[in-house]
Chains A and B, each alone.
Chain A
Amino acid sequence: MIHDRFVTGHGGRKIPIPYQPVDQVGAEERAAFFTKRSIKKESKLDALYAIISMIDLTTLEGADTPGRVRQMCAKAKFPVPSGIDHDFSKHPKARAVPSVAAVCVYPSMVPHAAKALQGTAIHIASVATAFPAGQLPLEIKLADVRAAVSYGADEIDMVINRGAFLSGDYQTVFDEIIQIKEACGDAHLKVILETGELLTYDRVQFASHLAMLAGADFIKTSTGKVTPAATLPVTLVMLNAIKDYYQSTGVRVGMKPAGGIRDSKMAIQYLCMVNEVLGPEWLTPDLFRFGASSLLNDVLKQIYKQVTGRYYYDKIFSID
């Protein structure tokens, strides 16, 4: 690790941001290795149930309505469609399907989600800080965060200031994260790097360390509004950064790949990767999440297939 880049922290303390060049070919090759495994039968079923409990069920559209958010919250609580519930649960192999980890909505939708999820353990995550571009003055970003928290969000997904980051002004990025972390209060902070705009693995690694040193509870790949969103190699680079950070500080930072993870097969590949890079203690909703919307339907479909041995109507799983 190289320690020649610094930011200034509290009280003028100089904090080195560690980095080292990422072997691009190696990272891609290692990530591709996870796509070649075959996880079947019982292990697959275990993975599928685990995936559901790690999903941040997301809707981030201009067309979001309170009704749509309520509908998504209902699905977050009881993922199995009522049309197949009795057929499914009577099966000897079926286990109770867990609820998802969290729902993820815009701040204006947080009150509706909070009302719909009252009395459940499902977290309410809200994107804030002028999501997805992050190109607004800091005061507005902070107000955005405070509003979301006051409405009942207990997790905040912020975007880093890519304009500052890409122009080399790491201090601004660092300071913003610190101030937003303060504005969060008790709410968990997930820092979105938007890796699709950072372009190189070196920058992804550097941004990961910057975010973790500034106090991120989770680092997250993407907003889902930029392609490429989450990819296996980018996630691998971030997981390795989390590992380095854990080894040097003892602090466990969570990981959230988001965007583009549409089917169970891909999700299982991510689980394998987390297990191999960080170990099984990271395989919990407290330290690993999927940001996804259509993934849940596919996982349910796969569970149904594994349990009953037959394919069901697509339509019954995809009422969103």
Chain B
Amino acid sequence: MSGINLSGAHIAKTTKLFINGEFPRTESGRSYPVKTKDGDILTHLCQASRKDLRNAVAAAQSAQAGWAKKTAYNRAQILYRMAEMLEGRMQEFVANRMLVQGLSNEQASAEVNGAIDALVYYAGFADKYSQVMASVNPVSGPFHNFTTPEPVGLVAMLYDQPFDFSTFMGMIASVICSGNTLVVVFDEPGATLLSEIGEVFKTSDLPAGVVNLLSGHVDELTSHMALHMEIQSILLASTDETRRGDIKEMAVENMKRVVPWDFAQKDLAPIVAFTEAKTIWHPVGL
């Protein structure tokens, strides 16, 4: 749904990728057309390559420490800002969902509202999950003993299950709210929204590289993602049993945490899944 369409003069252009806060074309120069429900060409999507994935991982890697270091309040503000920006452009998202997947106005609006709610929900959690998850542990000795959650680091998300915008945004929000950075690989129909989603992120003070979006054939990028040693965890939003098995097998090499998206949406579970417990022993002062 790229292009200005005020006077009915639709100027089609290729939807680009979102890497490191910028909108580059794919390094490979490949693109493929996406059609509407009625069979008209809606847009051309970039078919991301192994090297685009590599660049996105490098961007997410260098953004991670800075993002995790921001205060929880600041991350909350940014997530909330993302919700605001999304709300401001709601009509575009609704129109896309109706056109691409033939949803009714009510269905599409419900999805987009769900996405906004998810962002607000995890914005709220950003400065609270740690109080819920952390603990002071009883130990026998003159020590304080705390356990606190820390982000796992760089998470890759592979999304090939039927697209639902509110689930999709909920996943992104739950992963990044604790200080992880994210590389997302997804295909049409969701990827037709790539530019718009990227623009929402770009205008929300979200630091460059925290979320990177790649459109393309999930098949082609699966093994590169599962084998990449810099990726610490994979969020697997896939109903394809073979792919799930393959990824788990390849992920063994650096013991990536592979998390299938089988939880309830609004819960602490996705935050828990992408944090690690760190326990600190501290001597008690006399």
- Interface set of A (CB-CB < 8 Å, partner B): 309-314
Contact = CB atoms under 8 A, between A and B. Distances in A.
A310 B227 contact: yes
15 contacts: A310-B224, A310-B227, A310-B228, A310-B229, A310-B253, A311-B54, A311-B57, A311-B224, A311-B230, A312-B229, A313-B229, A313-B230, A314-B58, A314-B61, A314-B230
Contacts of B57: 311
Contacts of B230: 311-314
The list of the 9 closest CB pairs from A to B, nearest first, reads: A310-B227, A311-B228, A312-B229, A313-B229, A313-B230, A311-B229, A311-B54, A311-B230, A310-B228
A312 B61 CA distance: 13
Nearest to A316: B229
A119 to B, nearest CB: 35
A281 B228 CA distance: 38
The B contact surface, by secondary structure, is helix
A299 to B, nearest CB: 16
A304 to B, nearest CB: 10
Nearest to B53: A311
Contacts of A309: 227
Interface in B31-59: 54, 57-58
Contacts of A310: 224, 227-229, 253
Contacts of B54: 311
Interface in B211-227: 224, 227
Interface in B227-271: 227-230, 253
Interface in B52-71: 54, 57-58, 61
A288 to B, nearest CB: 28
B61 A311 contact: no
B26 to A, nearest CB: 16
Most B C-beta atoms less than 10 A away, residue of A310, A312, A313: A310
Most B C-beta atoms less than 10 A away, residue of A309, A311, A313, A314: A311
A108 B188 CA distance: 62
B49 to A, nearest CB: 13
Contacts of A311: 54, 57, 224, 227-230
A310 B50 CA distance: 10
Contacts of A314: 58, 61, 230
Most A C-beta atoms less than 10 A away, residue of B54, B227, B228, B229: B229
Contacts of B228: 310-311
A37 to B, nearest CB: 16
Contacts of A312: 229-230
A92 to B, nearest CB: 17
A312 B54 CA distance: 11
Nearest to B226: A310
A206 B228 CA distance: 49
A314 B231 CA distance: 11
A88 to B, nearest CB: 13
Nearest to A84: B229
A314 B58 CA distance: 9
Given A310-B228, A311-B230, 16 more contacts: A309-B227, A310-B224, A310-B227, A310-B253, A311-B54, A311-B57, A311-B224, A311-B228, A311-B229, A312-B229, A312-B230, A313-B229, A313-B230, A314-B58, A314-B61, A314-B230
Contacts of B224: 310-311
Contacts of B253: 310
A311 B52 CA distance: 13
A311 B231 CA distance: 10
Nearest to B228: A311
A309 B54 CA distance: 13
A172 to B, nearest CB: 48
Nearest to A310: B227
A311 B58 CA distance: 11
A312 B227 CA distance: 9
A310 B54 CA distance: 10
A313 B58 CA distance: 10
Contacts of B227: 309-311
B87 to A, nearest CB: 38
A91 to B, nearest CB: 13
A311 B56 CA distance: 13
Interface in B128-178: none
B207 to A, nearest CB: 19
Nearest to B57: A311
A312 B230 CA distance: 6
B65 to A, nearest CB: 12
A76 to B, nearest CB: 25
B135 to A, nearest CB: 31
Contacts of A313: 229-230
A40 to B, nearest CB: 12
A313 B256 CA distance: 13
A310 B253 CA distance: 10
A316 to B, nearest CB: 9
Contacts of B61: 314
A202 B58 CA distance: 40
A310 B224 CA distance: 7
A6 to B, nearest CB: 52
A8 B96 CA distance: 79
A51 B228 CA distance: 25
